[in-house]
Amino acid sequence: MPASPPKKPGDPLHPRATGPLRSYGRIKSRAVKPRQAALFDTLMPSVRLPVPATGKIDVQALMPGASEVWLEIGFGGGEHLATQAARHPTALMIGCEPFINGVASALRHIEEGGLKNVRLHDDDARAVVSALPHACLDRVMILFPDPWHKARHNKRRLIQPELAAELARVLKPGGRLRFVTDWKDYAGWALERFLVTPGLVSLADEAADWKAAPEDHVVTRYEEKRLGDTDPLFLEFERVA
């Protein structure tokens, strides 16, 4: 019988939780399919991102000679991550996702695509960002994060001033950050925080630019569900020196 994926505490509001507030909700829904569950034993050890308890991640050692390094925070089912990895085989793609079913799906995409340039972190992305060295990333992608749209839950949103500053820190000069959401309020929230982050400048000339999907955007099944209150809004920023 294939092994089950590692278990994690399921309640993001657990009173004994330590560290920053979770920016995500449940970490598992339905049972993981046997084939995907087996990949946690056979494939995950080779693609798991090593995050040291102290010090910084040795990005160069993850994929020597990588032309670029990308980070996707909250990759969902891994469709976008796998597609970008296939399009850019010489770039190292780091993906973070605490949702076990999403990680299982990503492992399947990696196996089926024979992808050698992907590394996964199956937990909170903020630990990865903190452990990355300065100016090491060419791209950061944050697509459709949990909106926490009730006002009393806004403090759980991923985009906070502290993370915005950390993302600016780990981006190379000229590096790009993309934030996509289908909730108007979250778009405004994120825009407000990114615009006041030193080192980040918006690439939009006018509000209409936010409605146009970038040429390299990958539409996922989640996006097709149209669960938010608006069509997707695309916020693009560049790291300036």
Residue 182 among known ligand-binding residues: yes
Residue 209 among known ligand-binding residues: no
Active-site residues, by number, are 146
Sequence-ordered list of residues with C-beta below 8 angstroms from that of 174, at least 6 positions apart, any chain: 238, 239
Residue 238 among known ligand-binding residues: no
User: DSSP for 183-215?
Assistant: -HHHHHHHHHHHHTSTTEEE--SSGGGGGSPPT
Helices of type H across 72-231: 79-87, 100-113, 125-131, 161-170, 184-195, 221-225
Residue 26 among known ligand-binding residues: no
Task: List the strands of the sheet with 137-143, edge to edge.
Answer: 118-121, 91-96, 68-73, 137-143, 171-181, 233-239, 200-202
Residues 187 and 234: their CA atoms lie apart, in Å, by 8
Residue 126 among known ligand-binding residues: no
Q: What are phi and psi of 229, to 5 degrees?
A: -105, 10
3-state secondary structure of 38: helix
Residue 18 among known ligand-binding residues: no
Point out the annotated binding site for S-adenosyl-L-methionine.
Answer: 72, 97, 124, 146
Point out the annotated binding site.
Answer: 72, 97, 124, 146, 150, 182, 220-223
Point out the annotated binding site for substrate.
Answer: 150, 182, 220-223
